[in-house]
Amino acid sequence: MKALSDKLKKICKSKAVNNFFKGVWLFPVILTLTLVVLVVLQINGSSIGIYYKIFYGNTKDSSLITGKPQAIRSDEWMVNTQKTIAQKNHDYKSININVGNGEDETLITDAPTKDWSTIFKPHNLGYFVLPFDNAFSLRWWILSYFLILSCYFFILVLLPKKRLLASALSLAMLFSPFFQWWYQYSTLGSVYYCLFGAVAFIKLLQAKKRIHAGLWSILLAYLAICFILILYPPFQIPCALVLVAFAIGYFLEHKKNIEKRILKRNLLYFLGAIVLSLLIVGIFIYQKSGIITTIQNTAYPGQRVVTSGGYNLEHLLSSNLSPVLQSVARTNTYLSGTTNQSEASNFILLIPFLLIPAVYLFYKKYKKYKSIDYLILSSAIMIIIMLAWLFVPNIDLLGKITLLNRVPLQRLLIGLGLLNFIFIVGFIRLYGQSKDRFSICISSLYSLLVLCFFLLLDFHVVTKYPGFIDYKYAVLLALPIAVIIFCFMRKYFKVAVFGLLLFSIFSVFYINPLYHGSAVLTQTPLSQAIQKINGSSNKKWVSEGIVIENFATMNGERSLSGVYVYPQLDIWRKLNQKDKEVFYNRYAHVNFTFERSPKEHISPILSSPAADQFNIIIEPCDNFLKDNNVGFLITSVEFPSGTANCTDLLKKINYPNIKFYIYKLAF
């Protein structure tokens, strides 16, 4: 035993171990171990616990580890998660025949499929090798894992040896309120593929050996394909613009330091990476051209065009109020020009307050060394472009050139958030290279001005939105960013970044819960009843109400109700209401409501109460259901006697908080 102990001590004191703990890989290894533990324990951050409340009321949910499920994150718990379970119960086939007459799951939705394009969706690969709940956990956390690592290595490329700072700033990026409220692949993926792409671009540009240039170009092509196949332009376009600005700035800054022969060769490899990625994406688009055309011709999202100007400046600059958004009651009194907490979320923006010191440092560097910091310059230009699009009306030409006319103004914040991160890194690099330091007097005065700005802004919010915050919170929430700016001004970079990290965590602590497994959906009595009843029947199901709209599909059964990521016009045209096509020609939650009046017989009534909803009020025995081979109905309200003569009650499922009735249709 003593010999073993001595051997361990010797290993711990060895140069290799010492180098590891001081090296760049310590933080990634810690992250990886954390990821493994979470996956093994089947822990995720999903809000599917909403269903426990629906089924069982306010009793204790044993699967809820901590936190509170967020109803507002319905795109996650009602759409993405249930689509994923539906794919599991359909053997992950690309075409899920259980959605209407069949839906291609390789487009728009983030559900896993056995399609070749899944190679470029690495976050979904776990579903093919792990038990479902472990794979679900892996998919959840690997988005965070990739985002943190992309930020970490991006920082180290620009700020070598700043490992602690890189670790803290990467975590602060993850805990940005925007990311936590919009926690999904299209959001985080759009950012981390850009940052990984930036690292690959830098390494390719600097590669001295041909083999290294070739490998980095292949990686860059892979990342480009992954990014493009996210297929959510409102998040991709702003991030891509930021990446292009960064790449141009970095190239202009470093081209003179690279031998012309090597630079020319590496640029050819870069061009080859772009051509290869476009070729593979082109194959995907060709295969899916029919569906893409259908989506482009929808009423929503269609080919929507956004005009410039009109964003709320007050809301953009009030990112210091992000912690309050975690309270639903308080947020309902605010929501300045937005509709919910996700739409109201923002990044902790430091750009507006670091910009003036950065311009001063930029000028001093140029005056002294005749050297331009192209990273700061390109970032500043992109900031001006994005702010112009947010606030200046009638600049349509800019929107066409940059494609920002395809980006709703709230979605543009993701570009500002990525710029904010890159600008902070650029500021630290620029200021760190300077031997000068802002004096305590200047730093204090400038930070005091920042504090006064937030106090005025917060006091305005107090009076304009009663119940959102009071004067005490207004003062407290005005302090953090002012203190962080003071630390940056004084070159206390680590203190500033850790301050940003702590404030970011404080702003998002209650957003996403920690939850164990998916049993609340997969092993609940309603799901078990659906699987048992249908058996070998090919009859379709219709569920009444949005809460259980996907339950039949989720459990491997064919359904007319549910979420359609693109319209299946052949189904709804059987309603013979051509003038109502605008209601169903869209991405939509398709909701059925059954008419229950025994004295009245109605024709189906169609409506679209929201951009992503299509509602049908229909008789339970309507011929439309018969023509579409519907054989089963699920409802939470029993049919009164004489209102549904074509139905037989098969099963009644009693939960403490709600009842469900499953009927069989006999046409």
pLDDT in tens, 450-488: 999 999 999 999 999 999 999 999 999 999 999 999 999
* Strand-pair partners of 481: none
Give yes or no for a contact between 567 and 294, defined as CB atoms under 8 angstroms apart: yes
Question: What is residue 15's predicted lDDT score, i.e. its pLDDT?
Answer: 65
In this prediction, residues 4-32 reach a mean pLDDT of 75
Q: CA 299, CA 289: separation in Å to the nearest integer?
A: 18
Where are the alpha helices (H) located in 159-232, listed in sequence order? 163-174, 177-181, 185-206, 210-228
**Residue 18 reports pLDDT greater than 70:** no
Residue 6: pLDDT band (50, 70, 90) is low
Q: Quick one: tokens of 211?
A: 């083999």
Residue 13: pLDDT band (50, 70, 90) is low
- Identify which of 342, 461, 323 has the alpha carbon closest to the alpha carbon of residue 408: 342
Q: Quick one: tokens of 653?
A: 């499922």
Question: What are the tens digits of pLDDT across the range 530-573?
Answer: 999 866 678 999 999 999 999 999 999 999 999 999 999 999 99
Amino acid at 253: E
Residue 419: pLDDT band (50, 70, 90) is very high
Question: What is residue 667's predicted lDDT score, i.e. its pLDDT?
Answer: 80
Supply the pTM of this predicted model: 0.95
In this prediction, residues 297-313 reach a mean pLDDT of 92
Q: CA 418, CA 237: separation in Å to the nearest integer?
A: 12
Q: Quick one: tokens of 569?
A: 């016009």
139 burial type by CB count under 10 A (0-12 exposed, 13-18 middle, 19+ buried): buried
Percent of the chain with pLDDT over 70: 96
Give Cα separations from 387 to 309, 313, 381, 384 (angstroms). Answer: 9, 10, 10, 5
Q: Could you give the maximum distance between any two Cα atoms of the chain, in Å?
A: 91
Give yes or no for a contact between 96 and 108, defined as CB atoms under 8 angstroms apart: no
Phi/psi of residue 613, nearest 5 degrees: -135, 140
Q: CA 515, CA 137: separation in Å to the nearest integer?
A: 9
- Give helix 26-40 / helix 163-174 axis angle, nearest 10°: 40
Question: What is residue 10's predicted lDDT score, i.e. its pLDDT?
Answer: 64
Q: CA 503, CA 168: separation in Å to the nearest integer?
A: 12
Cα 181 vs. chain centroid, distance in angstroms?
8
Q: Which residues have C-beta within 8 Å of that of residue 345, sequence separation ≥ 6?
A: 177, 178, 180, 181, 182, 322, 325
Q: Which residue has the higher pLDDT, 3 or 247?
A: 247
296 burial type by CB count under 10 A (0-12 exposed, 13-18 middle, 19+ buried): exposed
Give Cα separations from 124 to 33, 77, 133, 385 (angstroms). Answer: 19, 17, 13, 35
Question: What are the tens digits of pLDDT across the range 121-172?
Answer: 999 999 999 999 999 999 999 999 999 999 999 999 999 999 999 999 999 9
Q: HSE-up of 222 (CA within 13 Å, CB side)? A: 13
In this prediction, residues 624-631 reach a mean pLDDT of 95
Long-range contacts made by residues 459-462, C-beta under 8 angstroms, separation at least 24? 460/314, 461/314, 461/318, 461/321, 461/334
> DSSP states of 613-650 as a string?
EEEEEE-TT-HHHHHTTEEEEEESSPPPTTS-TTEEEE
Least confident of 140-144, 268-272, 303-307, 590-594: 303-307
Give yes or no for a contact between 219 and 227, defined as CB atoms under 8 angstroms apart: no
**Residue 507 reports pLDDT greater than 70:** yes
Q: Which residues of 161-181 are buried (b: 16+ CB within 10 A; e: fewer)?
A: ebbebbbbbbbbbbbbbbbbb
Amino acid at 144: S
Q: CA 491, CA 393: separation in Å to the nearest integer?
A: 39
In this prediction, residues 332-346 reach a mean pLDDT of 83
Give yes or no for a contact between 48 and 518, defined as CB atoms under 8 angstroms apart: yes
Question: What is residue 1's predicted lDDT score, i.e. its pLDDT?
Answer: 62
Q: Quick one: tokens of 413?
A: 């914040």
Q: CA 568, CA 547: separation in Å to the nearest integer?
A: 21
In this prediction, residues 339-364 reach a mean pLDDT of 94
**Residue 5 reports pLDDT greater than 70:** no
**Residue 353 reports pLDDT greater than 90:** yes
Question: What is residue 340's predicted lDDT score, i.e. its pLDDT?
Answer: 86
DSSP 24: T
Q: CA 445, CA 466: separation in Å to the nearest integer?
A: 31
**Residue 12 reports pLDDT greater than 90:** no
First to last CA, the chain: 79
Give Cα separations from 403 to 36, 299, 324, 385, 399 (angstroms). Answer: 40, 20, 33, 12, 5
> Domain residue spans in the chain?
135-293+306-514, 524-665
Q: CA 31, CA 36: separation in Å to the nearest integer?
A: 9
Q: State whether residue 541 is helix, strand or coil.
A: strand
- Identify which of 429, 288, 256 has the alpha carbon closest to the alpha carbon of residue 354: 429
Residue 369: pLDDT band (50, 70, 90) is confident
Question: What are the tens digits of pLDDT across the range 52-92?
Answer: 999 999 999 999 999 999 999 999 999 999 999 999 999 99
In this prediction, residues 85-103 reach a mean pLDDT of 97
Q: Which residues have C-beta within 8 Å of that of residue 210, sequence separation ≥ 6?
A: 265
Residue 14: pLDDT band (50, 70, 90) is low
Q: CA 285, CA 127: separation in Å to the nearest integer?
A: 25
Q: How many CB atoms lie within 10 A of CB 291?
A: 16
The angle at the Cα of 497, spanning 493 to 502, to the nearest 5 degrees, equals: 150
Question: What is residue 304's predicted lDDT score, i.e. its pLDDT?
Answer: 83
